Amino acid sequence: MNQSKILKDLISDNLVSDPNGARGRLLKEAARLFRDKGYERTTVRDLAAAVGIQSGSLFHHFRTKEEILKAVMVETIRLNTALMQAAVDAAPTSQEKLRALVRAELESVNGQTGEAMAVLVFEWRSLAEESQADVLELRDIYEKLWLDTLESLRQEGRLLADPFVVRRMLTGALSWTVTWYRPERGGLTLDGLTDQTMAMMGFAPGA
């Protein structure tokens, strides 16, 4: 199952918005603005201007500004859970599953959905506590993918550290790439960056 097929399925199930529709376009622009300027510094007037409507008209689609932030996060997490699930299923061994997860997360963070993923990481505090709980529930689903894979490696003796700790370290390390990784300069590709991440943990490429 390829990536665009996964996206289409989610759209037809109403789990993520069609990026060509009004709602989807707004969420895309919102993600970009929230990442670039931060949620607090982005005004509803900025958001409205980005999609060419008046600020008041936003509230026809969303009840509050915070609902926009939550929608960005929820839809992003849904899409990426599906992508990661597919990546894991396609890989045969534990080490290859880990590589697939690292690669998928790097792509989430630095690719198409990068803006939204950055928002998920850096604008967490701006979500109301009640909304945080809802999003956390979704996040647990895909955290399990990581933990199962890391647990297998641990049992195979190929990982020295605690899977829980490693997952959290990787969350930080991979998310942080959004602040410095620029594929257009330096010649480091996403595959190259994936190899470097694996190498950092002592996994030689192709082994």
The footprint of DNA (CB under 7 A) covers 22, 42-45, 48, 52-57, 59-61, 63-66
CA separation for the pair 123, 118 (Å, rounded): 8
Nearer to a second copy among residue 10 and residue 101 (C-beta):
101
Q: Would you count residue 60 as binding a second copy (CB under 8 A)?
A: no
Q: Judge whether 152 and 94 are in contact, CB under 8 Å.
A: yes
**Tokens matching residue 128:** 């109301």
Residue 155: name its binding partner from DNA, a second copy, none (Cβ under 5 to 8 Å by kind): none
Residue 199: name its binding partner from DNA, a second copy, none (Cβ under 5 to 8 Å by kind): a second copy
DSSP string, 20-58: TSHHHHHHHHHHHHHHHH-TTT--HHHHHHHHTS-GGGH
Residue 151: name its binding partner from DNA, a second copy, none (Cβ under 5 to 8 Å by kind): none
**Tokens matching residue 163:** 């899977």
Binder among 112, 126, 132, 152 for a second copy (CB under 8 A): 126
Nearer to a second copy among residue 17 and residue 110 (C-beta):
110
CA separation for the pair 162, 177 (Å, rounded): 23
Amino acid at 1: M
Nearer to a second copy among residue 17 and residue 42 (C-beta):
42
Question: Cα–Cα distances in Å, from 164 out to 37, 61, 150?
Answer: 32, 39, 8
Nearer to a second copy among residue 5 and residue 168 (C-beta):
168
Residue 131: name its binding partner from DNA, a second copy, none (Cβ under 5 to 8 Å by kind): none
Residue 182: name its binding partner from DNA, a second copy, none (Cβ under 5 to 8 Å by kind): none
CA separation for the pair 165, 59 (Å, rounded): 42
Which range in 74-82, 86-94, 136-144, 159-167 contacts a second copy by CB under 8 A?
Answer: 159-167
Question: Cα–Cα distances in Å, from 200 out to 99, 149, 173?
Answer: 12, 18, 11
Find the shortest distance in angstroms from Cβ 138 to DNA.
23
Among candidates 75, 106, 100, 73, which has minimal Cα distance to 86? Answer: 100
Residues that bind a second copy (CB under 8 A): 37-38, 40-41, 122, 125-126, 159-162, 165-166, 168-177, 179-180, 188, 193, 196-197, 199-202, 204
